Amino acid sequence: MQLRSSERSILAYLRQHKLIAACMVLTVERKSVLKTLRRMQRKGRVSQWRHASGLEYWTVAADRPLSNGSVAATYGRWLFCEGPNSSTRSLLCTQDVADYFPALARSGMPAGYYIERFHDRARVGLVKVDRLSRVNRIVSTTFRVIDQHRRRSEFRRLIEHGQFELTWLVATAEKTRRLNAALAATSTSEVPVHVSYVPDLLDLLLPLTAAD
């Protein structure tokens, strides 16, 4: 059965973002997008799920929902990269690589890379969502991730030119403060590491304290 253009657009969106929820759609487009999603659901193209937090979302047709951790990470990346306060950021796509970072091979890169655009240049970042880990574990992960990127020649060049950064998304203000302090006390890296407080993540992360 031939897909409508609106259905193709949603499938392309899901390939990049893994899920779509009503809150991720512009208000003016929400009614038509939800109508398309329901039509696609009837056709067996997408599946609808309800997260333990109450968030309703759709994925490509599947037998089971995304894990609680995957929902939190995916939604957090969307909030940071394409949410209401992300005017200069977006998830890194193939066209961005071709336009700004041709040395990067997009295929095989894991989810979570974003591009931040400035007037005359751009910077690549990797956004990671804290899944209620201990602060010292996050610090260790930070240096491991940076070292992994430094070993890749294409990223090493970006690091040398100040065009690569790492961002952690944290669900509570107190942990944001503690993580910033821990990173400041130990960081000697040439890679900027940012910590962003995202309170909307808390409800999505709480189910991780139980069995996932």
pLDDT tens digits, residue range 84-108? 777 789 999 888 888 888 888 655 5
What tokens appear for 67 in the block? 């894990």
Residues 60 and 77 in one domain: no
Q: Which domain holds residue 140?
A: 70-209
pLDDT tens digits, residue range 49-61? 999 999 999 999 9
Place of tokens 């968030």: 55
Per the model's pLDDT, the better-predicted residue between 118 and 33 turns out to be: 33
Q: How far apart are CA 72 and CA 105, in angstroms?
A: 27
Residues 59 and 78 in one domain: no
Residues 59 and 79 in one domain: no
Strands (E), 37-139: 46-50, 56-60, 89-91, 113-117, 122-129
Residues 53 and 82 in one domain: no
Residues 125 and 138 in one domain: yes
Q: Which pTM does this prediction carry?
A: 0.90
Per the structure, the count of domains in the chain is 2
What tokens appear for 16 in the block? 């990049």
Residues 150 and 87 in one domain: yes
